[in-house]
Chain A
Amino acid sequence: MSTPLDQFVSLSSALTGVNPAQLQPAIDPIGIARQYLAMVQSAASKVPPATFDNLLATFTAKSTELGADQAAAFVLADPTLGPVGRSIIKMWLLGTWYDPQNPGTAIQVVSSQAYKESLVWKVMQSHPMGYSMWSFGYWAGPPPAFDQFIQVNNGSSSNGSN
Chain B
Amino acid sequence: MASLNLILRSLRLAGGIAVLGLVTSCPDSNRTATESPTPSTPAPQITVAAISPSPSPSLPALSPDIPFDVSVVEKNPNLESLQHDFDVLSWNTFVALNWPAKPDGQPDTGTQIGQNKDAPTVWQSWKEAYEIFLPGGATPPPWGTPHAAPADWPPACKALFKDGMTPLNQVGKTPNLLSDTTEPFKTGPLIDQNGRYARFEIVVNKPMFDAIVANKLYSKEGQRSATKVVFPCGSANPAPGSLGAIMVKASWKILNDDEKKSGRFHVIEAVVYTPPSSSPPVVEKCEVMTLGLVGMHIVHKTGSAPQWVWSTFEHVDNCPTKGETPSKPRYNFFNKTSPAPSPNEPPPRPWDPNKTEPPDRRVQVVRNIPIPSPEKVLTTLYHAALRRVNPDSVWLNYELVNTQWPTNPAAGCDVETSAPVDRIGTPAPQFLGNTTLETYIQGQVPNVSSSCMECHANATTYTSQRPGNIPIFSDFTFLLERAQ
Contact = CB atoms under 8 A, between A and B. Distances in A.
Interface of A: 19-21, 24-30, 112-113, 115-116, 122, 130-131, 133-137, 144, 148-149, 158-162
Interface in B435-456: 444-447, 454
A144 B423 CA distance: 12
Contacts of A158: 13
Of B416, B421, B447, B454, the most chain A CB neighbours within 10 A belong to B421
B181 interface: no
B458 A161 contact: no
B426 A112 contact: no
Nearest to A31: B79
A148 to B, nearest CB: 5
Contacts of B422: 133, 160-162
B454 to A, nearest CB: 8
Interface stretch (B253-261, B262-270, B465-473): B465-473
B460 interface: yes
B12 A148 contact: no
A135 B473 contact: yes
Interface in B371-427: 407-411, 416, 418-427
B11 interface: yes
A26 B12 contact: yes
Contact of A112 (B82, B423, B446, B473): B446
B473 A28 contact: no
B425 to A, nearest CB: 8
A76 B411 CA distance: 39
22 contacts: A26-B11, A26-B78, A27-B8, A27-B78, A27-B407, A29-B426, A29-B428, A116-B446, A130-B447, A133-B421, A135-B423, A135-B460, A136-B458, A136-B473, A148-B421, A149-B421, A159-B12, A159-B408, A160-B421, A161-B421, A162-B410, A162-B420
Nearest to A130: B447
Contacts of B409: 162
B430 to A, nearest CB: 6
A29 B429 contact: yes
Interface size band for B = 35 or more
Given A21-B13, A133-B423, A29 B430 contact: yes
Which of A19, A20, A130, A162 has the most chain B CB atoms closer than 10 A to its own CB? A162
A129 B92 CA distance: 39
Nearest to A122: B421
B110 interface: no
Interface in B12-40: 12-16
Contacts of B11: 25-27
Contacts of B470: 137
A134 B472 CA distance: 12
B9 interface: yes
B465 to A, nearest CB: 15
A144 B421 contact: yes
B479 to A, nearest CB: 15
A132 to B, nearest CB: 8
A162 B446 contact: no
B46 interface: no
Given A137-B472, A161-B419, A162-B408, A112 B15 contact: no
A136 to B, nearest CB: 5
Contacts of B420: 144, 148, 161-162
Contacts of A112: 444-446
B79 A29 contact: yes
Most central of A20, A29, A30, A122 by chain B CB within 10 Å: A29
Question: What 5 A-B pairs are tightest by C-beta distance, nearest first?
Answer: A161-B422, A21-B15, A29-B428, A26-B16, A26-B11
A27 B16 CA distance: 8
Given A26-B16, A159-B408, 14 more contacts: A19-B15, A21-B12, A21-B13, A21-B15, A26-B14, A29-B428, A133-B421, A133-B457, A135-B423, A135-B458, A136-B460, A162-B409, A162-B418, A162-B420
A162 B9 contact: yes
A10 to B, nearest CB: 11
Contacts of A19: 15
Given A116-B446, A137-B473, A25 B419 contact: no
